[in-house]
Structure 1
Amino acid sequence: METHKLEEIIAQDPFFFGLNGAFCRTIAGCGKQMRFEKGQYIYRQGDAADRFYIVRHGHVALELSAMGKPHVFQTLHDGDVLNATWIVPPYRCFSNARAVGPTILIAFDAACLRGKCDDDHDLGYDLMKRFIPVVVERLNHARLQSLDVYGAGSDN
């Protein structure tokens, strides 16, 4: 996918809504489109968070391993952001991400974008404001799912 087309997609994406044109160009320069088939892992827990993604078409299950089995704690859909830990040291994936069906993602090279953020702190600050709520939301989903799976605790 050419950078100009990717720039247009970024500018129209709800997650990046309101981002200035120069930032859209910068981000597009670090991105590419990727396709995953049903059941294919996009990344696994513990992997380096070397990319983040926007789901263009399809569904992605976020899983945590418990008792040797993966448990889905959230399913992402078109327009959702995937792997927000690219921006938070130590840059490791905290869950598995698996395509539920054929899925098209826009993948952004994390090292490329972290470098751009280091060079332009305004870009870094804007992205941090967009990604921190995603990180908090995912932690909340995982917490609620674990309460559902393991119970709310003892009745003291």
Structure 2
Amino acid sequence: MNSSTDERLCDFPQGGKGDYRCELEANLAILRNTPAFSGLPLERLKLYAFLCKRYRYRAGEFLFHQGDKDDRGYIIARGRTQVIREYKDHSYILSELHEGDFFGGLALLADIKRLFSVRAVTELEVVALDRESFRKILAQFPETSIKVLEVMIQRIAQMEERLLEKHVHECTYQS
């Protein structure tokens, strides 16, 4: 993963490096404020928070590239990223993501290639959950899947809506 680290970190002054309880509390706070997870019961959130890992990136560093296979969903704990669509001879910045934004969630559901690249704009810290951990919780507590999937499906529908609005003239039925 480039030069990022996956050290367990503490965001609170009373804790130190390797203070798992402190990181668990920080992860829990982030998940509670992330729409895909905020509606889940506290006990389920604690499981997700425990299974999350923290990663840090320097400004300009890529978390992943378009076409990569990656099994993680990410929430930005600190910093900003750019979402980039790459082509042979150019690339487009599709959006900028900020603290609390969740991205890459489709990788939690299926083994797919990334549809875009994500690059850190500033020093960045993310909370990441891998597909295996996500699926274990879903298998154990299937009721949690409805809330998470609902948010992901809404985001896909919003992307499709924007795409259709932009390209409606190309999508007309012709007999």
Q: Structure 2 length normalisation: TM-score?
A: 0.72
CA contact (8 A) 1:14 1:79 kept: no
Which residue is 2:39 aligned to? Answer: 18
Shift of 1:62: 0.8
Which residue is 1:29 aligned to? Answer: 50
Shift of 1:14: 4.7
* Structure possessing the higher relative contact order (Cα contacts under 8 Å, 6 or more residues apart): 1
**Ranges of 4+ aligned residues in structure 1 off by more than 4 Å:** 138-141
Shift of 1:53: 0.8
Which residue is 1:60 aligned to? Answer: 81
Give the paired residue count.
150
1:1-156 equivalences in 2 (<5 Å): 1=9, 2-139=23-160, 143=163
Shift of 1:139: 4.9
- Give me the CA root mean square deviation: 2.6
User: CA 1:60–1:139 in structure 2 vs 1: closer, same or farther (change >3 Å)?
Assistant: farther
Q: Which has the larger radius of gyration?
A: 2
Shift of 1:97: 0.6
CA contact (8 A) 1:49 1:85 kept: no
CA contact (8 A) 2:79 2:122 kept: yes
Q: Structure 1 length normalisation: TM-score?
A: 0.80
Q: Deviations over 1:74-129 (max 9, x none)?
A: 11111111112123433331110111121111111222112221222111222111
Structure 2: where are the runs of 5+ without partners?
A: 1-8, 10-22, 171-175
Structure 1: where are the runs of 5+ without partners?
A: none
Q: What letter matches 1:70 in structure 2?
A: S
Percent of residue pairs identical:
20
CA contact (8 A) 2:34 2:101 kept: no
CA contact (8 A) 1:87 1:128 kept: no
Shift of 1:15: 4.5
- Of Structure 1 and Structure 2, which has the larger fraction of its residues in strand? 1
